[in-house]
């Protein structure tokens, strides 16, 4: 690995961790776009790298949130266990969908989330 990339990776990781702890987002919303924009990762490589990182981030964030009493373990399992099936399907699809389409889908999702957060409901 090029040592000049290390500070950029550290900044990306810090941003992803900060936003994971603050809002529960980080991987697909922060880490993936920054890996693509700042380091020139391909969409698939950025996704895989982000998932590897976010496993560590999520475990740490869940542990800290549990200390504050914010974790409902039973509900988390009811969401998390079926999500494994979604991960398998999503990964299978990601390998078959053109990269340009993946970029557009991610961009549309980010815009939709931003609009939803900005428009009072």
> What pLDDT shows up at residue 28?
77
* CA-based end-to-end distance of the chain: 46
Residue with tokens 């900005």: 118
> What pLDDT shows up at residue 106?
82
Indicate whether this model's pTM tops 0.85: no
> What pLDDT shows up at residue 102?
87
Question: Any idea where the domains of the chain sit in the sequence?
Answer: 3-118
> What pLDDT shows up at residue 8?
95
The span from the CA of 109 to the CA of 59, in Å, is 25
> What pLDDT shows up at residue 23?
82
Q: Hey, is 2 helix, strand or coil?
A: coil
Per-residue pLDDT of the chain (121 residues; tens, 9 = 90+): 788 899 999 999 999 888 888 887 777 788 998 999 999 999 899 999 999 998 898 899 899 999 999 999 999 999 999 999 999 999 999 999 999 998 898 889 889 988 998 998 7
């Amino acid at each position: 690995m090029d040592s000049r990339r290390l500070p950029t990776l550290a900044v990306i990781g810090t941003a992803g961790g900060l936003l994971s702890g603050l809002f529960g987002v980080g991987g697909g919303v922060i880490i993936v776009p920054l890996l693509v924009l700042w380091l020139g990762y391909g969409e698939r490589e950025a996704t895989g790298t982000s998932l590897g990182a976010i496993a560590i981030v999520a475990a740490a964030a869940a542990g800290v949130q549990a200390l504050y009493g914010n974790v409902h373990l039973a509900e988390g399992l009811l969401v998390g266990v079926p999500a494994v099936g979604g991960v398998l399907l999503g990964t299978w699809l990601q390998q078959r969908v053109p990269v340009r389409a993946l970029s557009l889908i991610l961009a549309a999702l980010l815009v939709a989330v931003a609009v939803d957060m900005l428009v009072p409901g």
